[in-house]
């Protein structure tokens, strides 16, 4: 673990990313303490105000404080990212393990199911599902989560296939360990690193997907703020051109957070992958 941290620390980008990410998460958690205004309280006399002492990031077209919305929006955008990855990991973990461990018919069935989900053009299904249940933050999480389980499932299955034939698992089996025990004690820890990497990247892409759904009016519904729907509100060209305070904060927030997550994911990959050490010796 210490060695891991040393390797991780060597990647400057990853370290910076981790700090920024921590800051954003803290800001989101403590949003109620930090936000100067109620994020949803409209004040029609203060619409479209540029940044000022009262409103450090200005106000939007409903006279709501952009800083407060940004903080609360961070709560929503980050939890959309985290929860949806949590969902896809849970499904993927269970199905991937089953497929990898049992093989045969179970494997074929689960992998075909993964193919089916993989064939869904993501947005079209997201649009349809969001129409069925009505757009809501929870549905956005579920949609993003349920549609991306094949990724982790495949990863885990591959890890199983690889490790199943290795000596220590064979030895454990020979010693009479039960299947469940083998899975949890021996295989899952080995699959941990690639899963963690793919999960970090999953969080980043879920945050972007939420923004994309917002563009189609299917993300987190108003009046609750998310970075995606804040960006979407800034679509008209006169806002884009004349009121940059409405889109720079959420745009920058999405960008910086996704960037940080990617850096962290990259750092994790390098830190987990000892081969990188060899590579670097040549330089």
Partner 1 sequence: MWRYIVRRVFVQGIPVLLGFTFLLYLVITIAPGSPVTHLRGVPNIDEETIARREAQLGLNDSFPVQYAKWLGRVLKGDLGLSFDSSRRPVADLIMERMPATILLSLCSIILAWVIGIPVGILSARYQYSALDYAVTFFAFVGISIPSFFFGLLLLYVFALKLDVLPAGGFFMAGEARTFLGYVKYLLLPSITLGLSDIAGIARYMRSSLLEVLGHDFLRTARAKGLGENIVVYKHALRNALLPILTLMGFTIPFIFSGAVIVENIFAWPGLGSLAIQAVSERNYPVIMGINLMFAVLIFIGNLIADISYAVADPRIRYE
Partner 2 sequence: MRKLLAVVLLCLILSAVAVAQEPVQGGTFRFALTTNPRGMFNPILYTEQYDSYIIDLVYDGLIYIDEQLQPQPRLAKGWEISEDGLSITFFLHERVKFHDGVEVTAEDVEFTYKTMLHPEYTGVRYGSFKLLVGAEEYHNGERDDVPGIEVIDDYTIKFTITEPYAPLVTQFGYGVLPKHLLGDIPVGELEQAEFNRHPIGAGPFKFVEFMTDQHVILQANDDYFLGRPNIDQVVFQRVAFDALPIYIRQQRVDYAEISPDNYAEVSGIPGVDLYIYEELSYNYICFNLRQPRFADPVVRQAITYGFDRETYVEVLREGFGIVANAPIPMASWAFTSEGINEYPYNPELAAQMLADAGWKPGAGGILEKDDMRLEFEFLVPEGSRVTEQMALLFQQNMADIGIKVNLVFMEFSAAVDRVDAREFDTFTMGWSLTVDPDPHGIWHSTSPWNDPGFYHDRSDELIEMGRRETDPEKRKEIYAEWQRIINYELPTMFLSYGVTVAAVNERVQGINTEPGPLGPLGGLQRLSQIWIQD
| Structure-token pair, residue 225 | 């703020």
CB 227 within 8 A of CB 214: no
| Structure-token pair, residue 3 | 């060695």
Residue 13, contacted partner among partner 2, partner 1, none, CB below 5-8 A by kind: partner 1
- Per-position DSSP letters for 179-205, written without gaps between them: HHHHIIIIIHHHHHHHHHHHHHHHHHH
What is the widest separation between alpha-carbon atoms in the chain? 76
Q: Using CB under 8 A, which of 15, 62, 142, 146 touches partner 2?
A: 62
CB 247 within 8 A of CB 239: yes
Residue 44, contacted partner among partner 2, partner 1, none, CB below 5-8 A by kind: partner 2
Report helix, strand or coil for 65: strand
Residues 105-144 that bind partner 1 (CB under 8 A): 112-113, 115-116, 118-125, 127-129, 131-132
CB 218 within 8 A of CB 126: yes
Is the Cβ of residue 63 or residue 222 nearer to partner 1 in the bound state? 222
CB of 79 to partner 2, least distance (A): 19
Is the Cβ of residue 72 or residue 117 nearer to partner 2 in the bound state? 72
Residue 259, contacted partner among partner 1, partner 2, none, CB below 5-8 A by kind: partner 1
Residue 275, contacted partner among partner 1, partner 2, none, CB below 5-8 A by kind: partner 1
CB 18 within 8 A of CB 260: yes
How many angstroms separate the CA atoms of 133 and 86, rounded?
21
Q: Is 259 in the site for partner 1 (CB under 8 A)?
A: yes
Provide the strand spans (E) within 155-276. Answer: none
Residue 175, contacted partner among partner 1, partner 2, none, CB below 5-8 A by kind: none
Report helix, strand or coil for 64: coil
Contact region with partner 2 (CB under 8 A), list: 4-12, 82-90, 128-136, 181-189:
128-136
Q: Is 51 in the site for partner 2 (CB under 8 A)?
A: no
Contact region with partner 1 (CB under 8 A), list: 41-49, 63-71, 156-164, 209-217:
209-217
Is the Cβ of residue 53 or residue 275 nearer to partner 1 in the bound state? 275
| Structure-token pair, residue 64 | 């709501």
Report helix, strand or coil for 69: helix
Helix pair 248-272, 188-215: axis angle to 10 deg: 160
Is the Cβ of residue 76 or residue 182 nearer to partner 1 in the bound state? 76
Rg (CA), the chain: 22
CB 228 within 8 A of CB 210: yes
Q: Is 237 in the site for partner 2 (CB under 8 A)?
A: yes
Contacting residues toward partner 1, per CB under 8 A: 13, 112-113, 115-116, 118-125, 127-129, 131-132, 204, 208, 211-212, 215-216, 228, 231-232, 235, 237, 240-241, 247, 251, 254-256, 258-259, 262-263, 275-276, 278-279, 282-283
Contacting residues toward partner 2, per CB under 8 A: 40-42, 44, 47, 61-62, 130-132, 134-135, 217-218, 221-223, 233, 235-238
């Amino acid at each position: 673990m210490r060695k891991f941290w040393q390797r991780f620390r060597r990647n400057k980008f990853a370290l910076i990313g981790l700090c920024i990410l921590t800051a954003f998460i803290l800001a989101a958690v403590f949003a109620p303490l930090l936000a100067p205004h109620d994020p949803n309280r409209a004040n029609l006399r203060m619409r479209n105000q540029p940044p000022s002492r009262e409103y450090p990031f200005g106000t939007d077209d409903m006279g709501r404080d952009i800083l407060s919305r940004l903080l609360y929006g961070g709560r929503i955008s980050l939890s959309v990212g985290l929860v949806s990855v949590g969902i896809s990991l849970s499904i993927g973990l269970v199905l991937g393990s089953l497929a990898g461990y049992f093989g045969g018919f179970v494997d074929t069935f689960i992998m075909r199911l993964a193919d089916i989900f993989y064939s869904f053009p993501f947005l079209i299904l997201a649009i349809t599902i969001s129409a069925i249940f009505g757009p809501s933050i929870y549905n956005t999480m579920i949609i993003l989560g349920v549609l991306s389980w094949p990724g982790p499932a495949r990863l885990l299955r591959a890890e199983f296939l690889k490790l199943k034939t290795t000596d220590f698992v064979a030895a454990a089996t020979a010693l009479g360990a039960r299947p469940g025990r083998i899975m949890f004690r021996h295989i899952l820890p080995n699959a941990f690193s690639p899963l963690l990497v793919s999960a970090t990247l999953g969080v980043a892409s879920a945050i972007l997907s939420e923004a994309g759904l917002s563009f189609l009016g299917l993300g987190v519904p108003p009046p609750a703020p998310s970075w995606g729907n804040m960006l979407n509100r800034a679509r008209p060209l006169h806002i884009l051109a004349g009121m940059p305070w409405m889109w720079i904060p959420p745009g920058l927030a999405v960008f910086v957070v996704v960037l940080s997550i990617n850096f962290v994911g990259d750092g994790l990959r390098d830190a987990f992958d000892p081969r990188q050490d060899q590579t670097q010796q040549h330089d």
